[in-house]
Amino acid sequence: MAERIAIVADHAAFEMKMLLIEHLRSGGYEVLDLGTTSTDSVDYPDYGYRMAEAIASGEAQRGVALCGSGIGISISVNRHPACRCALVSEGLSARLARDHNDANIVAMGARLIGIEAARDIVDQFLATPFGGGRHQRRVDKLSNPVFARENA
């Protein structure tokens, strides 16, 4: 069974989203498209929250979140404690987000990077496993602030 990857974008990143859906499907992934469906103006928090719910519910294992800068969508996704969304602009950061932080969502800015960089980021993000070990304690604290305060 193919891993299900959720993808979401606001109007500024709609075209990049469509190209990344093709890329993901050609790589054998099942894609859960959470919108938007056009370049008509929308509010990125609505779509960030859709992504957060899909990951938290287990509807998708990992996700790709896009907006003009990547900043707004990553902030909205990270409001949910089940989400570890990393805003990245190149492949090394995508690998480190997975290896060190067990990021389950990668965010990008469609107005800041091109499609080739976006494909590379997605590929590296999906190919990199979580390193565990010394990083696990820190990841546990990301999802549980009470645990983090008690163990600081």
Query: For residue range 3-34, what is the model confidence (pLDDT) as tens digits?
Result: 999 999 999 999 999 999 999 999 999 999 99
- What b/e readout covers 17-48, taking b as 16+ CB neighbours within 10 angstroms? beebbebbeebebebbebbbeeeeebebbebb
Domains annotated for the chain, with CATH where assigned, are 4-150 (3.40.1400.10)
Q: Average model confidence (pLDDT) for the chain?
A: 94
Judged by DSSP in three states, 50 sits in helix
User: For residue 120, what pLDDT is reported?
Assistant: 98
Tens digit of each residue's pLDDT (9 = 90 or more) over 66-104: 999 999 999 999 999 999 999 999 999 999 999 999 999
- Enter the pTM of the model: 0.93
Residues belonging to the active site:
67, 100
